[in-house]
Amino acid sequence: MYDACRGSVTSDEALYDPYDPAITFTTGMFTWANYGNTINDSHFVSRNRMGRTMAFVARAIEDGLTTGGAAWGVGVDDGGALFIDRNGRATVAGADTFVVLGDHRPERADPDRYLSYSNYKIWRLRPGQTYDFKNRPTCGYYLRSIVNGVPDRDLYSGTPVTNCG
């Protein structure tokens, strides 16, 4: 969990330096079945937080804070909620929700250096859509990358990959 114990960080700051002193995490606080290795962020689109969530995901992988070499980020925008039942099935309400998967180590995640990470998998979920956190989808995402601290354009939409086969 990003705890903001040393202040907040913007996307630009996090992409410039994924080890910015304001990026601090608390681990082991919750043990929810089907939702492990997941970092949450709110006010997602309205405050342009995709970049910082991408930095958090890369950092969690690089620092070994997750299991299996992967980390997940979930971003819910203003007026939205994500309801997850005991079976891991989530339903989006009110506003779009984004699920961000980093499934490999970053190309570069070092203090005082721009982040580089290729091919984050991102699912954009609209109100009323569901997502299965127990049996996480392996298709339907779009890809976005960060190169030398610069994100691909339009992090919040893309053409879903459908030939995942």
Q: What tens-digit pLDDT sequence spans the chain (165 residues)?
A: 788 888 899 999 999 999 999 998 887 777 788 888 899 888 999 999 999 999 999 999 999 998 889 999 999 999 999 999 999 999 999 999 999 999 999 999 999 999 999 999 999 999 999 999 999 999 999 999 999 999 999 999 999 999 886
- pTM (predicted TM-score): 0.94
Residue 76 corresponds to which amino acid? V
Is the separation of the CB atoms in 43 and 77 below 8 Å?
Answer: yes
Is the separation of the CB atoms in 117 and 54 below 8 Å?
Answer: yes
